[in-house]
Amino acid sequence: MSEILKSQEILRPYEVVIIMNPETTVDEQKELFRKNKSIIEGFGGSMHTLDTWGKRSLANEIGKARRGIYFHGTFQARPAAIAELERTMRINDRVLRYMHTKLDTRVSLAKYMESFKKSLAETAQREREREAKIQAKRAAMAAMAAERHQG
């Protein structure tokens, strides 16, 4: 019994991704994150980062929404805080989706964010390279079609 209580007292690192309705106002967004921060701090935790990824297309339509405003954050909290965070997000009609992930306790949040941002940059670079190859291929195909059309 005491081991269960002790495990509830340990601060653990978490990551959260939240997708909000694209019509959500900035004030509504700030209110959600103020509420989340107070819940985390109420359970003895602390926010580490909160990044706005902006409006993006959804892979699948949620309700009638085709786009969403994406947010990514990291924080430390007791496990009990997650249940309360998820309860408040379930009842907020502006939140389309959310996902909390427990991170490795052996890696600091600063190191995790450093490697996370590095992998995001690498992925973006690969995507730019792939798009450049596609554009070059299209240009070559168009040039070949133009030559055939002239000849």
- Which neighbouring-strand residues pair with 46? 76
Spatial neighbors of 68 by CB under 8 A, at least 6 apart, are 19, 20, 21, 22, 55, 56, 58, 62, 96, 97
Q: What is the pLDDT of residue 9?
A: 72
Q: pLDDT averaged over consecutive 10-residue blocks of the chain (151 residues)?
A: 55 93 92 93 91 90 90 93 94 93 87 86 89 91 85 63
Q: What is the pLDDT of residue 1?
A: 45
Q: What is the pLDDT of residue 151?
A: 63
Q: What is the pLDDT of residue 115?
A: 86
| Sheet of 65-77, strands arranged across | 46-62, 65-77, 12-20, 95-102
Q: What is the pLDDT of residue 62?
A: 87
